[in-house]
Amino acid sequence: MSSTTAHVTQLWRHPVKSMAGEQLETATVGRRGVLGDRLWALHDVERDTTISARRLPAVLRFAARYVSAPGRDAGPGQAPAVIVTAPDGTEHHSDDPGIHAALSSRLDRDVRLVPLPDDPRAHRLPWRERLGTLTPGALARDLGIAPDEKMPKISDMNARALATLARNATPPGSFVDLCPVHLISEASTATIADAIGDDHVDPRRFRPNIVIAGTASGLPEAEWPEATIDLGNVRLHVVMKTVRCVVPSREHIDLPLDKRLTRAVASRADRYLGVYADVVLAGEIRVGNVLTVTPPRPPNRLQRLAGTGRTLALDGANRAVELLRRP
């Protein structure tokens, strides 16, 4: 499917995971995603794991920007200096040895601002975290699921995503949640705005890299998994829909707490909004670039059988999780 109306309206990179980021007119995209995206994160000293806004939402009220534009060598082991802005406007430079104490004091948690390391093993969750992260209770808490609500269908997630959630704080070699690039359409955010009775929901709440306008109404990205997307001279492969936790409803740097969002995403979009994608061809994307979506080839008979078996198995796991959640 090619569209002459679907186009890029916003581009974002987030220098520090879970903090407000920088809006761009042009984004350089490599296999690891937008150049400079999430090259820093906060490390929880006590839990020995990477912090996300799911567990420490106060991080969303901070912002980060690079001191100077990242060079093309920016990546693991090569993270350019950043400036972190606290909610009161105080700025902290990543080269300042006092930044760790300053952030720890403001967040009431012993944290360290750390650059993306070279060693992928640094992302492995400690065993105690692995045992606790994927329990039904922990998943329900992270996703903002009330006792009378169902969990999302994990059959909508791919095998790599499930493995990442089980073994790693973030994918090895990255501080992103699951995939290098995250897209969302203005149609989807408009659908959620309609559900809560508002005129607009700011896409920043969903922390995308790319915001798209000019698509069909509703939830157009829900039809994109396994599709190929071309924009600028970049080609992406859509891996899966983005499962949503409570983060979009939290207070952000200049966006208030809005608990209606979690329920609206659950009721209108089955807790999925936007899509994750891998980079097939690197290049540059500019605001205004037209989007082309090429659907995947229809599966053959063996692929259909394998897909049916996988769905049945994962739907069975969903039912087991629901049983474990019952009091």
Annotate the chain with three-state secondary structure.
CEEEEEEEEEEEECCECCCECEEECEEEEECCEECCCCCEEEEECCCCEECCCCCCHHHHHCEEEECCCCCCCCECCECCCEEEECCCCCEEECCCCCHHHHHHHHHCCCEEEEECCCCHHHHECCHHHHHHHCCHHHHHHHHCCCCCCCCCCHHHCCHHHHHHHHHECCCCCCCCCCCCEEEEEHHHHHHHHHHHCCCCCCHHHHCCCEEEECCCCCCHHHHCCCCEEEECCEEEEEEEEEECCCHHHCCCCCCCCCCHHHHHHHHHHCCEEEEEEEEEECEEEECCCEEEEECCCCCCHHHHHHHHHHHHHHHHHHHHHHHHHCC
pLDDT at site 312: 73
Q: How many CB atoms lie within 10 A of CB 44?
A: 20
pLDDT at site 299: 74
Using alpha carbons, select from 231, 238, 237 the residue that is nearest to residue 286.
231
pLDDT at site 1: 44
pLDDT at site 21: 96
Q: Which residues of the chain have pLDDT under 50?
A: 1-3, 168
Q: Are 214 and 6 in contact (CB under 8 A)?
A: yes
Q: Are 94 and 82 in contact (CB under 8 A)?
A: yes
Using alpha carbons, select from 267, 303, 262, 272 the residue that is nearest to residue 153.
272
Using alpha carbons, select from 322, 201, 321, 325 the residue that is nearest to residue 273.
201
pLDDT at site 2: 45
Q: Are 95 and 18 in contact (CB under 8 A)?
A: no
Residue 115 CB partners (closer than 8 Å, separation 6+):
39, 40, 77, 79, 94
